[in-house]
Chains A and B, each alone.
Chain A
Amino acid sequence: MSERPPAPMLEACRLHFAYAGRPPLFVEFSWSVAAGETWAVLGPSGCGKSTLLMLAAGLLRPQQGDVRVAGATLHRPRPRTGLILQEYGLLPWATVRQNVALGLDIRRFYGPDGRHAPQDERLEDHAARVDYWLERLGIAPLADAYPAQLSGGERQRTAIARTLALNPDLLLMDEPFSSLDAPTREALQILTLTLCREQQLTVILVTHALEEAAFVGQRILLLGRPPHHVPCIIEAPHPHEAAYRHTPAYQALCAELRERLEAEECS
Chain B
Amino acid sequence: MTDVRRRDVLLALLALLLLWQLVAALAQIPLLPPPSLVVTTFVREVPRGLGRHALASLYRVVASIALAVLAAAPLGLALGQSVRLNRLAAPFIYLLYPIPKVALAPIVLLLLGVGELPKIVLIFLILFFQILVLVRDSAAAIRPELVLSVRSLGAGRRALFRFVYLPASLPAVLTAIRQSIGTAVALLYVAELFATRWGLGYYIYLNGSTLFNYPAMYAGVLAMSLLGLGLYFAVDALEQRLCRWQAPSPR
Contacts and interface: CB of A to CB of B under 8 A. Distances in A.
A255 interface: no
B156 interface: yes
A116 B250 contact: no
Interface stretch (B35-43, B128-136, B147-155, B193-201): B147-155
B167 A103 contact: no
Grouping DSSP codes into helix (H, G, I), strand (E, B) and loop, the B interface class, with mixed when no group exceeds half, is: helix
A107 interface: yes
A77 B154 contact: yes
B212 interface: no
Interface string A16-29: 00000000000000
B143 A116 contact: no
A106 B154 contact: yes
A148 interface: yes
A87 B149 CA distance: 10
A205 to B, nearest CB: 15
A53 B17 CA distance: 67
Interface string A111-145: 00000110000000000000000000000000001
Nearest to A116: B154
B245 interface: yes
B245 A94 contact: yes
Nearest to B152: A83
Contacts, number: 86
B173 to A, nearest CB: 13
Contacts of A117: 154
Given A77-B154, A79-B154, A149-B250, A110 B149 contact: no
A71 interface: no
A57 B152 contact: yes
A216 B46 CA distance: 74
Nearest to A148: B248
A93 B245 contact: yes
Interface in B130-166: 143, 145-146, 148-156, 158-159, 162-164
Contacts of B167: 91, 93-94
Contacts of A237: none
Given A87-B145, A89-B145, A146-B245, A102 B152 contact: no
The 9 A-B pairs at the shortest CB distance, nearest first, are namely A83-B152, A89-B149, A103-B153, A88-B145, A148-B248, A93-B245, A116-B154, A88-B143, A146-B245
30 contacts: A54-B148, A57-B152, A59-B152, A77-B151, A83-B153, A85-B145, A85-B149, A87-B145, A88-B145, A88-B146, A88-B149, A92-B245, A93-B168, A93-B245, A93-B246, A95-B245, A102-B163, A110-B154, A110-B156, A116-B156, A116-B159, A145-B251, A146-B245, A149-B248, A149-B249, A149-B250, A149-B251, A162-B153, A166-B153, A172-B152
Interface of A: 54, 57, 59, 77, 79, 81-95, 102-103, 105-107, 109-110, 116-117, 145-146, 148-149, 159, 162-163, 166, 172
